[in-house]
Structure 1
Amino acid sequence: MKLLCLSNGHGEDTIALRILQALQQRPSCPDIAALPIVGEGHVYTAHDIPIAGSVRAMPSGGFVYMDGRQLLRDLQGGLLRLTQTQLQTVRAWAKAGAFILAVGDIVPLLFAWSSGASYAFVGTAKSEYYLRDEKGLLPRRSWFERLESWSGSVYLPWERWLMQHPRCRAVFPRDRLTALILKRWAIPTFDVGNPMMDGLDPVGLDFGLNVDTSAETRIDSRSLTFVLLPGSRSPEAYENWQLILQAVATLVPVFQWQKLVFLAALAPSLDLAQFQQAATAFGWRSSGASSSHPYQTLSQLHARLLLVPSGFNDCLHQADFAIAMAGTATEQFVGLGKPAFILSGRGPQFTPAFAEAQTRLLGTSVTLVNSPAEIVPAVQTLLQTPDRLQLIAANGRNRMGTSGAADRIADSLITLLNTGNSCIKKNIN
C-alpha cells in the first residue's frame, strides 16, 4: 500500500511530518511520500521523507489568500504551471493505488478529491473557535463579519461536501469543538487532538533561570521571563522583530526592580546577525559568547536578551509570557497553558486581520495590543489578576489539546488502510 501526503505550508509540513513519522513506527506502515504544495519541503527531506513530483518556493510563502498582490506575484512566478504538474503527480499516485492524506486547508483537500483516490483530511487551518466558543456565537463588529457563520460552521458547504464525499474516509479536526460541529453532518469525524502540540518536549537547555516551569507557579514578584516570537519567514520576521524590540524597550525601565529575561526563539533559517544588529540599535550589548551555550546573550540594565536559534521548545517551556507575532508558535505557547501578548504587523502573515482572528481562536489566552507601548499596562493588568492565570492555563489546554495526536491519527489511518472499509465505524472521542 502507498500513501501520498499533501500539505500546503511550513507549519502544515511539520504537522504532516509528525503523522508520517508516527506511521513509520507501525509494523504495517505503507510506502510513504510527500508532496508539499507550498514551498520545497525541506522539513520532509531533512527527515528522509521522499518528495513526489515538482516543488517550488513561491513569492507569497503560501499567504496568497491574505493579499491579492501576493497571488499576482505567485502567478507571475509560475503558480499555474506548478499546480498543473502537481495535480498530474497526485493523479498518477492515485492510479497506482495510493491513499491520499491531505493536511492543511481546502487546497490539499481539493487535490485529494480530484485525484480519484480514497483520502483523509487533517484540518489545521480552521476551527469553530473563530466563530464561537462553548457558550455560543461570538459577538462580531459588523454584519459582514456576522455573515461568516451563515452556513452553521466555520467550514463552508463546499468544504463539507468534500469531507462528506464517499472517498473521504476520515476527517481529523484540530479541536473538540470543531469535531462536535462537523458531526452534525455525515462527515467521518475523529476527535483525536491536535498534532501541533506534539514534539514540544524541552531538551534541557540551561538559560540560567533555575526556576519552576509550571505556568501557575512561575510568575512572582522577583523575575519575569518572556519568549519573543517574531515568526519564521523572511523578510517579515525581521520587520516583526523591530516591533517586538520596541515593546521590550517599554518593559525594561518600568520593571526595573525585577529580573527580566527575554528569550528570542528564532527560526534556524533566519539570519541571526540581523536580529543582533537590530537589538544593538536598541541599546542591547553583547555579554560575551560562550561555546557551551547554543545562544547569544545581550544585556541592558537589569535585563538579559538571549537570541536562541535552536532551542524553541525550551524557550516555550521556560517563559512566563510571550510577545508574539507568529501563527503556529503562538498557538503552541498558549497550548502549554500560558498567556501571550500579540502585536499586528504589515504581513503578509501577521496582519491586523490575522491578529484579530487569532484572538478569537485562542480566546482569553491572548491579549491583542495595538502598539508596543500598550505591552506595559497589559502585563501589569495580568500580574494584578493572578486568578486569570489559572483560567488561561485551562483555556489554552482545552483549545489546543494534549500531546499524542499524531500517534492517534496514525493508528486510525493504519486501521483504514488495513480494513479497506469506506469509513471507520467508531469515531475516537
Structure 2
Amino acid sequence: MKLLCLSNGHGEDIIAVRILQHLRTPVNNLAALPLVGEGKAYQQLPDIPIIGRVQKMPSGGFIYMDSSQLLGDLKGGLLQLLYSQVQTVRQWGKEGGFILAVGDIVPLFLAWLSGAEYAFVGTAKSEYYLRDENGQLSRQSWWQKWEGWSGSVYLPWERWLMTHPRCRVVFPRDRLTTETLQRWSIPAVDLGNPMMDNLEPGGIIAPSPPGVLNLTLLPGSRSPEAYENWRLILAAVSQLKISPLRCLAAIAPSLDLDPFGSVLKATGWVPVDGHTSKEQQLFQRDQMTMLLTREGFNDCLHLGDMAIAMAGTATEQFVGLGKPAIAIPGKGPQFTPAFAEAQSRLLGPSLILAENPQAVAGVVRSLLQDSPQLATIAANGRRRLGEAGAGDRIADYLISQIFPNVKG
C-alpha cells in the first residue's frame, strides 16, 4: 500500500504530519510532497521521504491574500515548480498509489489530476465564513453578499472534485461544513480538526499566582511582518491599566528574539537579570512582566486568559481552547484588514476586532466584566474547532474504511 501526502503550506504540513504519525505502522510505503515551501515540518518524520521538487517562493504562499506578489513567484519559478509537481503526482498515480490531499483546491486538484484514488482534508474553508448555526451572516458589500452564491463556501468545481468516484472520503474542518457538503452526496465525515492536536502544556512556563491576568501575545510567524505586528501589539499593551499583568509572547522558533526585545527596551521595558537566553527573555515594566519565548508555545496558549492575536493558525488554536482573542488588523501580507475580518467570521464571538491598538484596552475591560460572554466564547470556540485527537481519528478511519480496498 503506497500513500503520498500533498500539503500546501506550513500549517497544512503540520496537520499532515499529525495524520501520518499514526499511519506509519500499518502503511508500509509513505511519502510526502509539500507544495508550498520546503516542508520543514516533515523533518519530524525522518522515515517518510519528501519526493519531487520543493522550493520556497518569495510570497511565502500568500499570493491568494496579496495578488501583487504573484509576479515575484512567477519570476521565482512558480510555473516550473508546479509542472514538476504535476509530473510527480501523475507518476505516483501510474504506480497505483493513493493520495491524501491536505489544504485547499490546489492539492485537491493535483490529487484528481494524478489519476489515483484520493482523500481530502479540507483545512482552508469553512461554512462559518458564510453562516453559523443561526443562519446567514450579515455582509456589507455586493461582493460579500454574493460570496456564497453556489450554496456553500466550497465552489461547484471544488465540490465536483469531492464527488468524483476516485475521491473516497472528505474530512472538513467542522461539523457545519460537513453537514453542508453532505447535501451534495459528498462522502464527508466529521472527525474534528487536527489543528487542535498536540497542544498539551509542556510545563516550561510556571503558572502565575492567583489574581494575575495572563495575556497571550501572538504576533505571527513570518518575518518581517511579525516584527511590525509586534509594534502594534505593544502599543495596545501600553494602554492597559491592569495590574498585576503577565504577558506571554509566543514567538515562532523561526524568528529571532532580539528584535522583539529591542522594541521592548525602546519602550521602557527592562530586562530581568538571569532570565535571558536564545529561547526565552524576561522583561519588567511597572507591575507588568513580559516573557518572550520560542519554546513555550503550548504553555502560552493554556496559561493565557485572553490574547492579542495577529496570527492565523495560532489564533484559531487559542480560540479552540475556549478563550477570547482580540485582533488588530495589520499591513500584511498575511494579517491584513481583509484577513482579520474573514477570521472574525470563521471564529465568531471568540474573536473581537479592535480598530486600532488604542481600542484594545476597552475590549479587555469589557470581557473581564462580562462572565456570560466569556461562557459563550468558551462554548463557541470548542464547537468550531473541535476536540483534540482528530489526526488519530482520521488515520484510523483511513486504515479501517479506505485502505483495505485500495490496490497497490
TM-score normalised according to structure 1 size: 0.92
* Match of residue 259 from structure 2: 274
Q: 1:421 Cα deviation (Å)? A: 6.7
Q: 1:205 Cα deviation (Å)? A: 1.8
Further displaced range: 412-421 or 85-94: 412-421
Contact 1:289 1:296 in 2 (8 A): no
Deviation track 1:340-369 (CA, whole Å, cap 9, x = no partner) reads 000111111110000000110000101000
1:22 aligns with 2:7: no
Aligned partners of 1:175, 1:41: CA distance in 2, in Å? 25
Deviation track 1:133-158 (CA, whole Å, cap 9, x = no partner) reads 00110010122101011100000000
* Match of residue 283 from structure 2: 298
* Match of residue 79 from structure 1: 78
* Match of residue 229 from structure 2: 240
Deviation track 1:19-66 (CA, whole Å, cap 9, x = no partner) reads 001212x4x223111100000011102431311111010011111111
Which amino acid letter does the alignment assign opposite residue 229 of structure 1? L
Residue ranges of structure 1 left out of the alignment (5+ in a row): 212-221, 423-429
Deviation track 1:260-315 (CA, whole Å, cap 9, x = no partner) reads 00000001110111111111111111012348995210000000000011110011
Q: 1:207 Cα deviation (Å)? A: 3.2
Aligned partners of 1:293, 1:112: CA distance in 2, in Å? 41
Percent sequence identity is 61
The SS at the match of 1:331 is: helix
TM-score normalised according to structure 2 size: 0.97
Aligned partners of 1:417, 1:157: CA distance in 2, in Å? 25
* Match of residue 272 from structure 2: 287
Alignment of 1:122-133 (within 5 A): 122-133=121-132
1:403 to 388, 394, 402: 388
* Match of residue 103 from structure 2: 104
Residue ranges of structure 2 left out of the alignment (5+ in a row): none
Alignment of 1:23-42 (within 5 A): 23-24=23-24, 26=25, 28-42=26-40
1:336 aligns with 2:335: no
The SS at the match of 1:148 is: coil
Which amino acid letter does the alignment assign opposite residue 257 of structure 2? L
Aligned residue pairs, count = 406
* Match of residue 217 from structure 1: none
* Match of residue 339 from structure 2: 354
Contact 2:257 2:278 in 1 (8 A): no
Which amino acid letter does the alignment assign opposite residue 418 of structure 1? F
The SS at the match of 2:146 is: helix
1:183 aligns with 2:182: yes
Contact 1:54 1:82 in 2 (8 A): yes
Which amino acid letter does the alignment assign opposite residue 248 of structure 1? V
Contact 1:14 1:43 in 2 (8 A): yes
CA-atom RMSD in angstroms: 1.5
The SS at the match of 1:334 is: helix
Aligned partners of 2:107, 2:168: CA distance in 1, in Å? 15
The SS at the match of 2:295 is: coil
Aligned partners of 2:74, 2:376: CA distance in 1, in Å? 46
Aligned partners of 2:226, 2:279: CA distance in 1, in Å? 20
Alignment of 1:11-410 (within 5 A): 11-24=11-24, 26=25, 28-48=26-46, 49-210=48-209, 222-251=211-240, 254-255=241-242, 258-290=243-275, 295-410=280-395
Aligned partners of 2:403, 2:3: CA distance in 1, in Å? 13
Q: 1:210 Cα deviation (Å)? A: 4.2
Structure 1 stretches of at least 4 aligned residues deviating more than 4 Å after TM superposition: 291-294
The SS at the match of 2:330 is: coil
The SS at the match of 2:238 is: helix
Aligned partners of 1:350, 1:225: CA distance in 2, in Å? 23
Aligned partners of 1:403, 1:30: CA distance in 2, in Å? 26
* Match of residue 9 from structure 1: 9
Aligned partners of 1:167, 1:207: CA distance in 2, in Å? 50
